[in-house]
């Protein structure tokens, strides 16, 4: 059974850092584009970052550029999202998603992903 499991969320003070992980089981991540999305209370789920199959192409939402870094370790079947300089507005449930449709590119659109994890909560507060 294809499964994505996020981890690494938590409560952090403004300016702090976290590293989120997205581990896959039941399939090999090598053939999948991975996206990270987040959903704050009362808001739509939005794409924050994505990475192509090889890792050669990445995208970031304007709101996170320069603070978030996505990477993948296909040998560990895991994708990471390093989040620095956290702000209260980064508070949300963070989800990873996977899809095999794209080869060299990735997209930040929810419709571009077929498989989703259950999410990990990130709370930024002093």
Tell me the per-residue pLDDT of 23-63, one tens digit each, with 9 for 90 and over.
Answer: 999 989 989 999 999 999 999 999 999 999 988 999 999 99
Torsion, CA 101, CA 107, CA 111, CA 112, rounded to 10: 10
Angle at 108 between CA 105 and CA 112, to 5 degrees: 75
Which letter does DSSP use for residue 72 in this model?
Answer: E
pLDDT, tens digit (0-9, with 9 covering 90-100), for 86-109: 999 999 999 999 999 988 899 999
Cα 79 to Cα 30: distance, rounded to the nearest angstrom: 11
Task: Report in angstroms the alpha-carbon separations of 104 from 5, 52, 55.
Answer: 24, 6, 9
- Enter the tokens of residue 100: 């095999």
Cα 71 to Cα 82: distance, rounded to the nearest angstrom: 8
């Amino acid at each position: 059974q294809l499964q994505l499991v996020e981890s690494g969320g938590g409560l952090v003070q403004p300016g702090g850092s976290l590293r989120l992980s997205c581990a896959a089981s039941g399939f090999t991540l090598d053939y999948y584009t991975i996206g990270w999305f987040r959903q704050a209370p009362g808001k739509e789920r939005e794409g924050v970052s994505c990475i192509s199959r090889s890792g050669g192409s990445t995208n970031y939402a304007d709101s996170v550029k320069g603070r978030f870094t996505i990477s993948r370790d296909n040998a560990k079947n895991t994708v990471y999202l390093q989040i620095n300089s956290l702000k209260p507005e980064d508070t949300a449930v963070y989800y990873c998603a996977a899809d095999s449709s794209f080869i060299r590119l990735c997209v930040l659109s929810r419709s571009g992903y077929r498989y989703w994890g259950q999410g990990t909560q990130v709370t930024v507060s002093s």
